[in-house]
Chains A and B, each alone.
Chain A
Amino acid sequence: MRELTYREALREAMAEEMERDERVFLMGEEVGHYNGAYKVSEGLLDRFGERRVVDTPIAETGFAGVGIGAAMVGLRPIIEFMTWNFSLCAFDQLVNNAAKLRYMSGGQVSLPIVFRGPGGAAHQLAAQHSQVVENLYAYVPGLKVVTPATPYDAKGLLKSAIRDDNPIVFIESEVLYGRKGQVPEEEYMIPLGKGDVKREGKDVTVIAWSKMVSVALDAATELAKNGIEVEVIDPRTIRPLDEALILRSVKKTNRCVIVEEGWPFAGAGAEISYRVTSGAFDYLDAPVVRVTGEDVPMPYAKNLEHQVLPSVEKVVAAVKSVLYRS
């Protein structure tokens, strides 16, 4: 099978959907003439023209709201945030408008809109450019939150997101943009709300999404050397959450570690931990353990940043702790 980078997979998903449906357009800072701050939209302006690839000023509230208005009357906008950190300027638009207009109008409008861009830490971008936002948005009923980890997932999930009639928070990763993976030539979609077993194992379930999946997989490889078989579950979407897949795995392994890049307080891992505890209590042989980012604004210094983020070593230690091994 051919290999694409995560960035190319995203671009292919957008191009295919724009080709298929004239209602789909891309809007955001630097998406057109600059070819994308992270080159995700490279070539799309040449292919689709200025009507459908729309450069915006730096005005997140403004262009997020424009997207919402366009979606209210039947267009299917893809709104790119250069990074999800900047979406906080448009938080009101996503939380008060995108998520609620359907409900508070008694179902009179649909909001087929995708907000996308990279989230989480990259390399030494410090406190304002390294934030994990899936927890903020997954809190809100009315939004769906998608966090792909591989090129295959990125393409299949983005196509589903664009065809979905709901507002989607689609969180990519700057660190993953250059990663390669298998992506079939033929068209496919991945349903939102269906997780994926990224590695099978019988001893411990490790739940991870976005770029934490590769951390979990590297930890699993490391642990296999000691005869510990880790099962890596990637929910792929945080909301809706594939609780059934998670519980099935935990009921098999009886042990659960959750790895998330974000802050610990009220993170998605806390919710997953609650669901595992209440849905598989009798199956657990150890308390659920979470590996999270440290509870601080992201520092700039390389060593401190490394200290903040979940690492293979931290995951290995967590897995051993639920096995009561040192």
Chain B
Amino acid sequence: MDRDLMFSLYRDMIRIRRFEEEAARSYTRGKIGGFLHLYIGEEAVAVGAISAIEPTDYILATYREHAHYLARVGDTKAAMAELFGKATGCSKGRGGSMHFFDVHRRFMGGHAIVGGHVPIAAGIAFASKYRGEPDVTLCFFGEGTANMGAFHEGMALATLWKLPVVFICENNLYSMGTPLYRTLAVEDVAVRAKGYPMAQEIVNGDDVLEVREAVRRAAKRARTESLPILVEAKTYRFRGHSMSDPAKYRTKEEVEEWMKRDPIRILAERIYELGVATEAQLKAIDDEAKQEVAEAVKFADESPFPDPATLYDDVYSEAEPQLEEEKVVPLPRRARAGA
């Protein structure tokens, strides 16, 4: 097992955990407004999946997307500043917790209408195929999405047009406060893929290495064969749906049972077993993460709020279309790998 890889996965997961914990504290201190949906307990899914793809592959996520942004972009300062509603945030304070973006790094946003981004992911993959580019699109969503029309239309079109999308269902067993068995007539969301028909795979979402391996295979298939796939990761969120949710619909025993399967602990134990690192070394990584998050809070706190004069900026793109033959950039025509 690759030592550097295990270290890097551990670092990514612990940074996200510490970031989310600090976000919760800043929320209770009144520094963060609106909704705040934490990813604590689910870190292995975003980190495993995003570690398995190329930096040029596209990522779309939901309103619970801090982790995906951090796993791809890694900028804790821009992330925390966005939560604080500051001009230095990754969406200039326009998006907040649910709408992190870094389009330059192909992090195509946190999307907050359940299912609404599924067809968009298919569209980004459509564009890659249209241009003959080898990029794959990763689309994350929760199991509650599986009942939305947009989900079905996006999946159906991705299959019909053979689009290179890896759909990743983060099945944390609850759509807000309602357990899976009361919202879904099947136990596994993956079953839904069969009718399109789309390939599907179920993984243990608490095992970062298992997630990584499954998404690596899925992305390779999407890239070389231009086919979509649904990967369902079974996981659990340790906190409520959002900060305002005390999660009383779950028993203490159930939560404790799942916390025994804490994805960060699972990876740490694996690391010790393999003798890749000592407890002290992992603690050092954790301390670094805490330090980094503390600096992010300081940065966010000290950053300016958006200038009121910018309120109307970017409602529209201002470039005026011209009749004059402006230079039209020809499409790049890189050959699709393996096709």
Contact = CB atoms under 8 A, between A and B. Distances in A.
A73 B58 contact: yes
Given A106-B95, A107-B92, A108-B91, A96 B122 contact: no
B316 A66 contact: no
Given A92-B113, A97-B120, A142 B315 contact: yes
B119 interface: yes
A56 B157 contact: yes
Contacts of A25: 130
Given A106-B92, A107-B92, A62 B156 contact: yes
Interface in B177-218: none
B127 A20 contact: no
Given A57-B156, A160-B321, A22 B331 contact: yes
Contacts of A112: 317
A23 to B, nearest CB: 7
Contacts of B150: 61-62, 65, 92-93
Interface in B125-142: 125-128, 130-131
A104 B91 contact: yes
B91 A72 contact: no
Contact of B126 (A69, A107, A142): A69
A59 B156 contact: yes
A168 B233 CA distance: 38
Chain A interface size, as a band, is 35 or more
Contacts of A93: 116, 119, 150
Contact of A92 (B95, B116, B156): B116
Interface stretch (A184-192, A199-207, A271-279): A184-192
A14 B89 CA distance: 39
A103 B321 contact: no
Contacts of A166: 316-317
Given A61-B149, A164-B321, A104 B94 contact: yes
Contact of A59 (B113, B116, B157, B317): B157
Interface of A: 20-23, 25, 51, 56-57, 59, 61-75, 92-93, 96-97, 101-112, 141-142, 144, 159-160, 163-166, 187-189, 191
Given A75-B130, A102-B317, 10 more contacts: A59-B157, A62-B156, A65-B118, A71-B123, A104-B91, A105-B94, A108-B104, A163-B321, A165-B317, A189-B323
Which 9 residue pairs of A and B lie closest in terms of their CB atoms, listed nearest first? A69-B123, A65-B119, A62-B153, A106-B92, A163-B321, A107-B314, A165-B317, A105-B101, A66-B123
